[in-house]
Amino acid sequence: MASEHKNLSTFEGTEIPDASKMKFGIVWAEWNHTITHGLMKGAYDTLIKHGVKEKNIITKTVPGAFELTLGAQYMAELSHVDAVICIGCVIQGDTKHFDFICDAVAKGITNLNLKFNMPFIFGVLTVNTQEQAEDRTGGKHGNKGDEAAVTAIKMLGLKNSFESNKGKIGF
Ligand code: DLZ
Domains by residue range for the chain, with CATH? 24-161 (3.40.50.960)
Give the active site residues: 97
Which residues, in sequence order, are CB contacts of 67 under 8 Å at separation 6+? 29
In angstroms, rounded to a whole number, what is the distance separating the alpha carbons of residues 135 and 159?
Answer: 32
Supply the pLDDT for residue 3. 53
**Is a pLDDT exceeding 80 seen at residue 7?**
no
Closest C-alpha to ligand 1, atom 23:
66
Does residue 29 have its Cβ closer than 6 Å to ligand 1? yes
**Is a pLDDT exceeding 90 seen at residue 108?**
yes
State the distance from the centre of ligand 1 to the C-alpha of 126, rounded, in angstroms.
12
| Average pLDDT along the chain | 94
Comparing CA positions, the residue from 90, 56, 64, 61 lying closest to residue 74 is 61
**pTM reported for the whole predicted model:** 0.94
Banded pLDDT at 141 (limits 50, 70, 90): very high
**Is a pLDDT exceeding 70 seen at residue 9?**
no
Supply the pLDDT for residue 14. 81
Cα distances (angstroms) measured from residue 145 to each of 70, 118, 120, 158, 168: 20, 19, 13, 20, 34
Closest C-alpha to ligand 1, atom 18:
64
